[in-house]
Amino acid sequence: MTTPITYTNITSAHWQPALGTPGDVVTGLRDIDQAIRIILTTPLGADPHRPEFGSRLFDYLDWPVNRVTPHLVRESVEAIRRWETRVTTEEVLVGIEAEHVTVRVRWRVADGVSQLTEVTYGRSTAA
């Protein structure tokens, strides 16, 4: 992925403010990667202006480990299919370790190289 650029250097039709870096924007594949992260980390109903935006991943985080994986995969694919139409989801892998759930999404834009977006849920290890 590329590094964020400043607002004065936007040359792409698709862009959004870069999260965590005020004054910067992301474009291209970095824009799509960030959009997927936002979709997967926004609980359904959390955005009052778009109550249908987000995913239902949070509904399953307390489910038993032996039953949760297919639900997380399904919810990830459905949310990305609905909200990020620029990509095709190729694969969703779920990793469960102690207090963390990691969702890895392999996606591709038309005629593009596969990309990987990873989102981790759970208690932060930093205190």
What is the rounded CA–CA span in Å between residue 97 and residue 31? 29
What is the rounded CA–CA span in Å between residue 44 and residue 53? 6
**pLDDT band, very low/low/confident/very high, at 80 (cuts 50, 70, 90):** very high
Q: Three-state DSSP class for 104? A: strand
Compute φ and ψ for 80, nearest 5 degrees: -65, -40
| CATH (one of 3.40.50.10470, 3.40.1190.10, 3.10.450.40, 3.40.50.300) for 18-122 | 3.10.450.40
**pLDDT band, very low/low/confident/very high, at 56 (cuts 50, 70, 90):** very high
Give residues with Cβ within 8 angstroms of 11, minimum separation 6.
Answer: 27
Residue 30: name the closest of 18, 41, 20, 38 by CA: 18
Can you give the pTM of this predicted structure? 0.83
Mean pLDDT of 20-43: 92
Residue 31: name the closest of 94, 119, 115, 121 by CA: 115
Mean pLDDT of 117-126: 73
What pLDDT digit, counting tens, does each position of 68-77 carry? 999 999 999 9
